[in-house]
Structure 1
Amino acid sequence: MVDHEGSIVTVMQAMGLSPVVVRRVSRLWGKSAARNGGRTHLLLGHLLDTAAVAGVMWDRYVSVAFRRRLDEVSGGRGKLWFMWVCGIHDCGKACPAFQAMDAAEAAPVLASGLVWGRLATDRRKKWRHDVAGAALLKPRLVAEWGSAESSGWVWPLVAGHHGAFPSVSGLQPPNREVQGSGADWAEVQRAVVDVFTRAVGFEDLADVRPVGALRKAEQLALSGMIVMADWIASDSSVFRGLGDAGLISLAGSRGRAENAWGRLGLRGGWQGLSLPRERLEPLNGRLGVIPRASQRELLERAWSMPAPGLLVVEAPMGEGKTKAALAAAEVLAARFGLDGVFVAMPTQATSDPMYEQVLQWVRSFDPEFESQVALLHGRRRFNVWWRAIWEGKPRPDGDGCGCEHAAEQSVGFGEDDYGAIDEDASYGMQSAEPSADGAPAAGADGPAHWFLGNKRGLLTAFAVGTIDHLLHAATRTRHVMLRFAGLAGKVVIVDEVHAADIYMRQFLVEALRWLGQAGVPVVLLSATLPPAQRQLYVDAYLSGVLGVADVREVVPEPAGYPCVTVACGVRGRAVVETSRQAVPSWRESAPVALTWLPDTDPAGTRVAEAVWESVEDGGVALVVVNQVSRAQGIFEALREKGLGGEVHLLHARLCAAHRADRTAECLRLMGPQAGGERPHRMVVVATQLAEQSFDVDADVLFTDLAPADLLLQRIGRLHRHSGTRRRGVHRVPRVLVTGVEAGRDGVPEVLWASRAIYGMWSLLRAAALVTEAAGPLAAADGQSVPLGEPVAWIIPADVPGLVARAYGDAEVCPVGWGEADAWRQWQDRELKRMGEAGKYLLCRPREWAFPTLEGLHYAGSRAASEEELDAVVRDGESTVEVVIVRRVPGGYRAVDGTWLGVHGEVDDDAVTDRLMGGTLRLPAALTEAARAGLRPLPGWSGRPWLQYLPALVLEQEGATLLGKERVLYDDDLGLVVERR
């Protein structure tokens, strides 16, 4: 066997290659000096660097479960095979189309005797090296591995390493010249593959043949790891170019890879987590909670499930589902060899507190893990813990951040280019940009800022973020494999899963299919999950596990509420179970009195009157409405009644600083730790922001009519915390449902905004269920006349039944309400939305059972940016985020009054922080005008956080014109749009 640790020239000579071939192979370049820090890097050098990075990843990053699978398909040589498949990715650069791209680099190649004819100049006809690599490798794999089947899943990994998987028909070059014509090119291309293969440690290409095949989802994860290895090995700041083949060796590349891994601060997660010594230890030991029955039930299911699978947890609001899910994740990771956790939350606002909870949790394993917890959303800069850890800012508790030495060991991001790097830009391929955060790379003592780069966030060992990041991994977009690779080694937890509407649900279902096939355990959490959705998610996950397009495994009816449903595959068959006996909730069910408050005035004057009456003598009220302007109107009316600082306003059109401050204040005064600080009188007026994962306790709730599950979520903020003192009038939880009134023949008339958001069918059914408890609805100026004795909702016991009825097949509305017509309109709308989502799903249904990634990107998403991709998975109109500044004599000021300078200049990070406190997302109706008229201020040029962020400049009177609208920002009300 050849000593593959020697230089690459030694390897070639030992293989018996002719001096001519050795010389030619030694001239092929992989990274040009012009795009590689002034130093040429030879092709074989980059292939070995990538293989060496893969070797380090195997030892320190790749999960135990995935290492196991690669060992299985490679006949026990998983690490070596992983290094080979990662390194071979760029073999297609050994073709004229690539070698001719840089004249200076091409000269030695031509001088060696390798020549080419006229090459196409039309960019559309360019022959990309990823496809070229698959084209030259595929016939050899078929010939030397003995079958198309064994090679059929490997060549797409090479063809797709720049983010998209072509069809086999795409491997045909437009002409012979681009791929290389004649015996000389064929000989050199063969030599590149053979020399690299021998240098890595295989005897020859036939020796590489796998003994089995990865499943398609596992192939997607592997593809993402290939891209990761390539991007790291392409970082010229840690991999200096080598232009002399005599200096290139696997041993040298290993040393370079080790150095790069350390300098970039890269690391993996648990890397083989030990099983807890006792079954309840993850709860009472690590999380420090006294386990409730529902938490014990989930943990027991995690211990007993026979294979990685899906856990659907349904339990009342405030039950402690998320802590139980983290405990279950520890057990699942230890049992099945997973390396980390991703917690998906419905919104940015709910992600922040969960991030801090996960930080505490991972510290209990190892304090160093806190620097591996990513917060994935666009406003993470405003989370003080994230900034303390990732930017080296002071900690909220005053302790050192642990990053004091990061700057001394840092590797700057300045001109580094990850993704479509070097000459790939000439093919029109979008680069994965360096981190928009502008943070320096960290050394071994700090967080790995490499993970802050575009599309890399999920690659961190532990991550918390919006559900969008999970949904993005189910879209047919470039580099989707990176996102999926980040999920494949983790336990995935999805909180408030009911919040996904029918459009988002298509991507969630698609993600569950792929996660099921990849053997990724998933935990779904909800207090108000309709049975049909439970069935949908179970079927989707099992579809992936079993590898078939359509699965229908009937989910047994749960024995009670709370409950846990388990779905997994054992020896090729599905296993579905639910809680076998009723699991008691931690708190006793109690009646909640529902009353109608008829009102469809967008200003909410009547609502404000009723709120004032309810708290005039004391109490804490929560008002949740479906429209920002309505919330603003109610807030103003309550201030006029003298509530002043006792009334708080929360909605999405507050700038980031104001929204964060008010949310924190509400949690301080109404949260679980309020204790004696709970105010005598307080009102919070909010939009849907307060609907879920908002851990506050109100005495009385005023809510616009919403679908039944969302009404129940809002009710979950009512009498939430045990031990709270309440005045006598507030000892019985009360809900006043408004935003609706009786129209002709008693048919509910609902606010236009509510109809636009939710559709009339779900609102009518919710109104019918409320009517059963509150009596018939009256007109806004009339009085409700009960028919018989109203029946209160018993919460939480009635929750699953109410949700099931709200979304079941049986009619629930009184005759004459037009339920059937409303259902047809709703169904038409939902089917249309499902069809729209289908355009972006990762895999067409009829292709789900295809065994390889070939042709996966048959058509790309139209989304070109992260912001647009958010709109794709949310079915929202595209919106624009701006930062508010005020024009003053001589220059500009931030929203908090901080002086910026004549052109908006920002001198330091502290000023940047205060300025970005004015960040705000504009309503969709203003998007067109904002894109046409708003630009960053001149003084923001070169500032990483600001240079691409449009400024909403308020003139000295406090307002500005945006298109046809007059827009102003009031520190109390937030953004106000005045129609002209």
Structure 2
Amino acid sequence: MHDELWAKRGSDGKWHSLVGHSADVSAALEALIKIPLIGERLRCLGSIKTTENDAFSSKLSALAFLHDIGKANRGFQARSDVGAPPVGHIDELAWVFSGGRGAEAVCDRMSETLGLDRVEAWLTDGSRLFDAVFAHHGRPWALGDEGRHADIKDASAHWRAGSGDPVAKLAPMRAAFDTWFGEALADAEPLPDLAGFEHAFAGLLMLADWLGSNPAPGFFPFDNGRHADRMAFARERLALVLPATGLDARPARAAEHQIGASFAGAFAQQGREPFVAKPIQAETARHPARLLVLEAETGSGKTEAALWRYAELFRAGAVDGLYFALPTRVAATQIFERVKRFRDNVFPPQERPAVVLAVPGQMHVDEAEGTRLPDFDVQWSDDGDRAARWAAEHPKRFLAAPIAVGTIDQVLLGSVRVKHAHLRAASLLNKLLVIDEVHASDTYMEHLLTNLLRFHVGAGGHALLLSATLGAGARARLLGSGEVPGRVEADTVPYPALSWYEDGIERRQQLGLAGQPKPVRMEARPILTDPDAVAETALSAALDGAKVLIIRNTVGQALRTQEALEARVGISDGALLYQAPHADGRRVATLHHSRFAEPDRRVLDAAVESTIGRERATGGCIVVGTQTLEQSLDLDADLLLTDLCPVDVLLQRIGRLHRHAGRTRPHGYEEPRALVLVPEARELIRTSLRAYGLGSGEKGGVYEDLRILELTRRLVDAKSVWTIPDMNRQLVEAATHPDALCAIEAELMATDPDWRPHFDKRTGKYFADLSAAQGALLRFDQRFSTFRIEPDEVIATRLGGADRHVDFMSGERPLPIGPFGRLVPALKLPHHMAGDVPVEAQPQDVEPLDEAGGFTFRLGSIAFTYDRLGLRRME
């Protein structure tokens, strides 16, 4: 194709020189470091006290310039012929530096050609920044601490001298290096050799490589070998690209200052009374701690507190962006709309940072929706600015968005040994990280989160953890205080409260009154396994005019309850059963759970809030669902029927009961009542209860720790009235504090030996999860060279089986139509439903159902139905 080294090529015959591409990435890294907060975080990790000498960013930019020198090898360059074998450039370069047979001579020639001795002068004996340079594709090269690794393969054929000598062809790189990095070469001060600095540099270089490798309009077009002034061009282009993508927040900050929205203005909604900041919102926003835990009751305004803290930190220049992490995809989708509304109130239209829904499989930025096309391109539903949507077009870039709402999994992927983990962790450094419902994390997830928090906050970043009530043990671990307060002290911790760690002590600040006391009458009903009795109880209340919310622990039991209700009232009685609108205008009886397609979930969410939310109509109605009803949705039930669950989850569900004060309630339901569905037998050790989400089997369970469930049941029996939120702290500690768990375990084993296998299993699982977390962690406190990704190792952010993605867009058939008249591009198949479905299976025999709506399909030999009751496997 040409004699000069190339780095990128297009299907249209255009190409990009190695010098030109290297300049683009080098300039991108330099520009990122010159963003004040990113540079500040990097210097913090490197313990650099001054910013006077700009040689710091110039040296790192020079290292970035070398990131693709491995592309000089013969095998890679031969790929200008589309039929050539797919030879890479990372491990091929690792061979050069391995010291293996024949490699040393190539290494010496390469060092001389490029003048690498001058770069080595910046690196101390312990520094592994060079390793980080060649991890820009998201994984480390094969070299380890000893300078060689068994995975390194002989690449001598790719670097042989003679005609077309690949090392000699690197001479233009040397010439460009000398021209563009004179300032760096004139400064012999070594770069930091601290582990956290190396990891952060690796992540920022990955981000720079994503930016500099984008040939789209407005980014970095191919130079076709004309690279003499490429560095100047790249720097000029980045001055436009970084603000356009939202990575440089300075223009948005200047515009936000012009508006200076008040709290009331930030949360203004048409038709609503202006908001006045509550103590939890005002105090959370101005607190100086970098890592805060906010505990307050459901419905008290924790989401607004988090957003207002972001606004205040953003104004002060302490953060450049926001990542709002939720425990589930469903909760993320629900919060997404609230965050967009807040953004619209705080920023002027011409400088509004994009709000990205960071959920893989969905592509949403503001009001626009994207569709994946061949060749990794994206088609958007409007003609908005593509640069502003850059971060949304690939999940690895989600955390680089100026404002993103997504699952906690995207955060935790920056804490484990997976490809591009450093990119995610580094993209968060200048953002406020908000973790909602942090109590929902298990042992494994909590350990991963703690690891990331230490890195993030250690670099000077900000994080806010939200919970209705967090147990003392979890709070101490997440804050890093290490010491769990005793039970008596834990019970007296103020509520609602902010907690933080300072001078070796966990400190706390009470946030005014806990809110208007809400006495909730609690009653245990031994009808957990009787859906007919559940249906009769709910129907009686609905006929009295009550809005009834039924939350079951599993989809299976929710379906059984719905079927029992429909057997009594029929599916056409819109006065009593929850219904969602069909695209043709009719109403469809349904229920609310996680096994619906994303377009249908949006319909269901809006319908359930209109049915039983703030603006609900009068008259009785019953809504059946699962845990999807306990988070993020603004629901206001007159009566709650809920399966037994851990006390912190139960409090979350109770938060959907009598949520809005001052409403006229039907006679007999003026006071909030919660009926807790429990098994008839007193003991919880029966294996049959796994179907109801209590306990675990070989494939795990929903709520596996029977100690917490037993203590929660006893709380319901012992206290007929729970005053919320005054009792929240004592209730949670009574069922989750380590002292309480040890006591109930000793008591139960002393009275019934059948409990011992459960406790032994729980102990084993705890240590297994802890061990799995330790093995999965990306150790930011260890040198970069210790970072490894084993070829066959799969590391997840949650333990257990992985859900499957069923894509209906890959075939030539039109997309199927769901039960509410919307097209269904994809479905999520839960892991327990996909156990014997071949991994490679694609949907076949997609057939519409009758006029009821929905469709059937087959994966391998397994048939599925998707209709108004959700996705079900047909046995």
Q: Name the TM tier (shorter chain).
A: 0.7 to 0.9
| C-alpha spacing 1:924/1:953, structure 2 compared with 1 (3 Å) | farther
Equivalent position amino acid for 1:967 in 2: F
Paired with 2:119 and 2:837, the residues of 1 have a C-alpha distance of 59
> Which structure 2 residues correspond to residues 454-465 of structure 1 after superposition, within 5 A?
454-465=395-406
Q: Which residue of 2 aligns with 1:671?
A: 613
Of 497, 504, 508, the residue aligned with 1:578 is 508
Q: Which residue of 2 aligns with 1:970?
A: 867
Paired with 1:699 and 1:186, the residues of 2 have a C-alpha distance of 76
1:830-851 Cα distance to aligned partner (Å, 9 max, x none) = 32233334443223xxxx532x
Q: Which residue of 1 aligns with 2:581?
A: none
1:801 matched to 2:801: no
Q: Which residue of 1 aligns with 2:784?
A: 853
Q: Which residue of 1 aligns with 2:212?
A: 233
Of 76, 89, 92, the residue aligned with 1:128 is 92
Of 523, 526, 530, the residue aligned with 1:598 is 526
| C-alpha spacing 1:631/1:244, structure 2 compared with 1 (3 Å) | closer
Paired with 2:537 and 2:389, the residues of 1 have a C-alpha distance of 53
Quote the offset at 1:707 in angstroms.
Answer: 1.5
Please identify, of 53-62 and 733-742, the stretch whose mean Cα deviation from structure 2 is larger. 53-62
Paired with 1:362 and 1:932, the residues of 2 have a C-alpha distance of 41
| C-alpha spacing 1:559/1:768, structure 2 compared with 1 (3 Å) | closer
Structure 2 residue matching 1:641: 3-state secondary structure? helix
Q: Which residue of 1 aligns with 2:330?
A: 349
> Which structure 2 residues correspond to residues 432-831 of structure 1 after superposition, within 5 A?
434=376, 437-439=378-380, 447-449=388-390, 451-539=392-480, 559-567=493-501, 574=504, 576-579=506-509, 581=510, 583-585=512-514, 587-601=515-529, 604-642=531-569, 644-645=573-574, 646-648=576-578, 649-672=591-614, 674=615, 677-742=616-681, 750-754=689-693, 755-756=695-696, 758=701, 762-774=705-717, 791-808=720-737, 809-810=739-740, 811-812=743-744, 816=751, 822-831=758-767
1:907-927 Cα distance to aligned partner (Å, 9 max, x none) = xxxxxxx322x6432232432
Q: Which residue of 2 aligns with 1:879?
A: 803
Structure 2 residue matching 1:291: 3-state secondary structure? coil
| C-alpha spacing 1:466/1:252, structure 2 compared with 1 (3 Å) | closer
| C-alpha spacing 1:884/1:332, structure 2 compared with 1 (3 Å) | same
| Alignment TM-score, normalising by the size of structure 1 | 0.73
> Which structure 2 residues correspond to residues 306-321 of structure 1 after superposition, within 5 A?
309-321=290-302
Paired with 2:409 and 2:328, the residues of 1 have a C-alpha distance of 9
Quote the offset at 1:497 in angstroms.
Answer: 0.7
Equivalent position amino acid for 1:877 in 2: G
Q: What fraction of aligned residue pairs are identical, expressed as a percent?
A: 24
Maintained 8 Å contact 1:371/1:446 = no
Equivalent position amino acid for 1:663 in 2: D
Quote the offset at 1:651 in angstroms.
Answer: 1.2
Equivalent position amino acid for 2:408 in 1: I
Quote the offset at 1:797 in angstroms.
Answer: 1.5
Please identify, of 357-366 and 156-165, the stretch whose mean Cα deviation from structure 2 is larger. 357-366
Maintained 8 Å contact 2:715/2:731 = no
Paired with 2:829 and 2:154, the residues of 1 have a C-alpha distance of 47
Maintained 8 Å contact 2:310/2:319 = no
Quote the offset at 1:339 in angstroms.
Answer: 1.0
| C-alpha spacing 1:126/1:758, structure 2 compared with 1 (3 Å) | closer
Paired with 1:764 and 1:510, the residues of 2 have a C-alpha distance of 28
Maintained 8 Å contact 1:374/1:462 = yes
Q: Which residue of 1 aligns with 2:582?
A: none
Equivalent position amino acid for 2:25 in 1: T
Maintained 8 Å contact 2:613/2:634 = yes
Count, aligned residues: 811
| C-alpha spacing 1:812/1:283, structure 2 compared with 1 (3 Å) | farther
Please identify, of 706-715 and 826-835, the stretch whose mean Cα deviation from structure 2 is larger. 826-835
Please identify, of 78-87 and 791-800, the stretch whose mean Cα deviation from structure 2 is larger. 78-87
| C-alpha spacing 1:891/1:794, structure 2 compared with 1 (3 Å) | closer
1:679-734 Cα distance to aligned partner (Å, 9 max, x none) = 31011111111122222111111111111211121111111111121123112221
Paired with 1:209 and 1:150, the residues of 2 have a C-alpha distance of 15
Maintained 8 Å contact 1:389/1:447 = no
Paired with 1:391 and 1:104, the residues of 2 have a C-alpha distance of 30
| C-alpha spacing 1:104/1:245, structure 2 compared with 1 (3 Å) | farther
How much is the aligned-residue C-alpha RMSD, in angstroms?
Answer: 4.3
Paired with 1:936 and 1:750, the residues of 2 have a C-alpha distance of 33
| Alignment TM-score, normalising by the size of structure 2 | 0.81
| C-alpha spacing 1:82/1:105, structure 2 compared with 1 (3 Å) | farther
Equivalent position amino acid for 2:359 in 1: H
Equivalent position amino acid for 1:299 in 2: A
Paired with 2:148 and 2:310, the residues of 1 have a C-alpha distance of 42
1:312-361 Cα distance to aligned partner (Å, 9 max, x none) = 11111111111111222233344463210100011122112322222222
Q: Which residue of 2 aligns with 1:895?
A: 818
Paired with 2:594 and 2:256, the residues of 1 have a C-alpha distance of 42
Quote the offset at 1:92 in angstroms.
Answer: 3.2
Paired with 2:435 and 2:773, the residues of 1 have a C-alpha distance of 20
Q: Which residue of 2 aligns with 1:908?
A: none
Structure 2 residue matching 1:702: 3-state secondary structure? strand
Quote the offset at 1:259 in angstroms.
Answer: 7.3
| C-alpha spacing 1:487/1:880, structure 2 compared with 1 (3 Å) | same
Please identify, of 246-255 and 633-642, the stretch whose mean Cα deviation from structure 2 is larger. 246-255
Quote the offset at 1:467 in angstroms.
Answer: 1.0
| C-alpha spacing 1:830/1:355, structure 2 compared with 1 (3 Å) | same
| C-alpha spacing 1:897/1:613, structure 2 compared with 1 (3 Å) | closer
1:56-80 Cα distance to aligned partner (Å, 9 max, x none) = 5456797463476588577621543
Maintained 8 Å contact 1:739/1:750 = no
| C-alpha spacing 1:56/1:895, structure 2 compared with 1 (3 Å) | same
Please identify, of 802-811 and 371-380, the stretch whose mean Cα deviation from structure 2 is larger. 371-380
Structure 2 residue matching 1:629: 3-state secondary structure? helix
Q: Which residue of 2 aligns with 1:836?
A: 772
Structure 2 residue matching 1:470: 3-state secondary structure? helix
Paired with 1:282 and 1:514, the residues of 2 have a C-alpha distance of 33
1:52 matched to 2:32: no
Paired with 1:962 and 1:599, the residues of 2 have a C-alpha distance of 36
Quote the offset at 1:371 in angstroms.
Answer: 5.2
Structure 2 residue matching 1:342: 3-state secondary structure? strand
Q: Which residue of 1 aligns with 2:349?
A: 367
Quote the offset at 1:657 in angstroms.
Answer: 3.8
1:613-647 Cα distance to aligned partner (Å, 9 max, x none) = 23321111111111212111211222233273222
Paired with 1:174 and 1:796, the residues of 2 have a C-alpha distance of 66
1:926-947 Cα distance to aligned partner (Å, 9 max, x none) = 325544685257xxxxxxxxxx
Paired with 1:391 and 1:442, the residues of 2 have a C-alpha distance of 11
Maintained 8 Å contact 1:54/1:229 = yes
Quote the offset at 1:456 in angstroms.
Answer: 1.2
| C-alpha spacing 1:729/1:330, structure 2 compared with 1 (3 Å) | same
Equivalent position amino acid for 1:161 in 2: H
Equivalent position amino acid for 2:140 in 1: F
Paired with 1:248 and 1:891, the residues of 2 have a C-alpha distance of 50
Maintained 8 Å contact 2:438/2:465 = yes
Paired with 1:520 and 1:832, the residues of 2 have a C-alpha distance of 31
Maintained 8 Å contact 2:412/2:448 = yes
Quote the offset at 1:459 in angstroms.
Answer: 1.2
Maintained 8 Å contact 1:92/1:133 = no
Paired with 1:356 and 1:490, the residues of 2 have a C-alpha distance of 20
Paired with 1:638 and 1:765, the residues of 2 have a C-alpha distance of 31
1:377 matched to 2:351: no
Equivalent position amino acid for 1:89 in 2: H
Paired with 2:599 and 2:230, the residues of 1 have a C-alpha distance of 53
